[in-house]
């Protein structure tokens, strides 16, 4: 009697499991389709803007900002050919990097405290948010421990927003670049900034122009910086016009966060 009663229950569990897998797979497929369509629209706009600015599309790296996105969604995004993903929380990057393979690049793009460097040093291809000599020194030390040369960008504050992080004074920027150049386990590749979230395009453009000017001044001083990480979903076209080489875009790829 117990055996007879257990068979329907076992079949019920199998049916529930199958239903769950079908729903999960359907959700994954729909997300894949959405990301694919969004990416095509985005790539078309980037290419068009490059054409208008007489720039080559190959000059610009597209970083898909996957913060708060579950691993399953990142897996779907990988199927579309995206090779660079950005995270702004150290522990989240660590956890995701442990669950996913290494056939792509992680970019850490959020504010970084020295006590969180240990979470990202082994997996981050680039750290975009170095905003002090103290932080640079800690990254250098942690990279040395694992025999790695860590690619970094210096975060520059180009607006008056108090909430924004970054180096603000040119001498401070110059001294930090000089320190990073001398550090054996750092490869300082460029500068990063965030424009204010505003519809005023003049304000946005002024931030990007300022970053480009600082990069040019540093280049004239003998520092070979190549990267300008600037531009998100709401302002990437202006960033392209002003010389961006790295775009950090989330919403235009993954949709609005819930």
- Written as one string, the DSSP assignment of 56-75 is -GGG-EEEEE-TT--HHHHH
Mean pLDDT, rounded, for 138-160: 97
Which one, of 145, 141, 118, 114, lies nearest residue 130 by Cα?
114
**Residue 29 pLDDT:** 72
Mean pLDDT, rounded, for 60-68: 97
pLDDT for 184 beyond 70:
yes
In this structure, of 86-90, 219-223, 235-239, the range with the lowest mean pLDDT score is 219-223
Mean pLDDT, rounded, for 52-81: 95
Structure tokens at 56: 């080559």
Per-domain boundaries in the chain: 2-254
Confidence of residue 160 (pLDDT cuts 50, 70, 90): confident
**Residue 258 pLDDT:** 64
Kindly tell me the sign of the dihedral angle through the C-alpha atoms of 238, 244, 248, 250: positive
pLDDT for 149 beyond 70:
yes
Query: What percentage of the chain's residues is helix, strand, coil (to nearest 5)?
Result: 55, 15, 30
pLDDT for 4 beyond 60:
no
pTM of the entire predicted model? 0.88
Under CATH, to which class is 2-254 assigned? alpha beta
Give yes or no for a contact between 93 and 119, defined as CB atoms under 8 angstroms apart: yes
Calculate the dihedral angle through the C-alpha atoms of 68, 71, 77, 78, rounding to the nearest 10 degrees.
Answer: 140
Distance CA 156, CA 166 (A): 4
Structure tokens at 218: 């540093």
**Residue 54 pLDDT:** 97
**Residue 132 pLDDT:** 97
pLDDT for 214 beyond 90:
yes
**Residue 3 pLDDT:** 45
Percent of the chain topping pLDDT 70 = 89
Distance CA 236, CA 246 (A): 10
249 or 26, which is more confident: 249
Distance CA 186, CA 169 (A): 22
Q: What is residue 164's three-state secondary structure? A: coil
Please name every residue paired with 227 in a beta bridge, in sequence order, or none if there are none: 190
**Residue 11 pLDDT:** 54
**Residue 161 pLDDT:** 81
101 or 180, which is more confident: 180
**Residue 18 pLDDT:** 47
C-alpha distance across the termini of the chain, in Å:
49
Between strands 246-249 and 84-87, the pairing is: unpaired
Distance CA 79, CA 73 (A): 10
How far apart, in Å, are the Cα atoms of 64 and each of 90, 93, 217, 246, 253? 16, 13, 29, 10, 7
pLDDT for 42 beyond 90:
yes
Name the phi and psi angles at 106, rounded to 5. -95, 140
Q: Which residues contact 78 (CB under 8 A, 6 or more apart)?
A: 100, 103, 104
Mean pLDDT, rounded, for 34-58: 96
């Amino acid at each position: 009697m117990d055996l007879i009663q257990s068979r329907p229950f076992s079949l019920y569990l199998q049916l529930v499991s199958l239903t769950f897998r079908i729903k999960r797979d359907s959700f994954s497929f729909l997300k894949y389709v959405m990301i694919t369509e969004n990416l095509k629209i985005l790539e078309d706009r980037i290419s068009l803007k490059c054409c208008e600015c007489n720039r080559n599309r190959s000059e610009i790296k597209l970083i898909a900002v996957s913060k708060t996105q579950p691993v399953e969604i990142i897996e779907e995004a990988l199927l579309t050919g995206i090779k660079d993903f950005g995270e702004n929380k150290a522990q989240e990057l660590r956890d995701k990097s442990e669950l996913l393979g290494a056939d792509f690049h992680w970019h850490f793009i959020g504010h970084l405290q020295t006590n969180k460097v240990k979470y990202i040093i082994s997996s981050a291809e680039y750290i975009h948010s170095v905003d002090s000599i103290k932080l640079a020194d800690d990254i250098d030390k942690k990279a040395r421990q694992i025999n790695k040369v860590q690619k970094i960008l210096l975060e520059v504050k180009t607006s008056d927003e108090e909430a924004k992080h970054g180096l603000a004074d040119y001498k401070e920027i110059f001294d930090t670049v000089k320190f990073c150049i001398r550090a054996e386990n750092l490869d300082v590749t460029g500068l990063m900034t965030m424009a204010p979230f505003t519809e005023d395009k003049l304000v946005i453009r002024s931030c990007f122009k300022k970053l480009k000017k600082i990069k040019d001044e540093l280049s004239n001083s003998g520092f070979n910086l190549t990267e300008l990480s600037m531009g998100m979903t709401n302002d990437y076209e202006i960033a392209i016009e002003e010389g961006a080489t790295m775009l950090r875009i989330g919403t235009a790829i993954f949709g609005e966060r819930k």
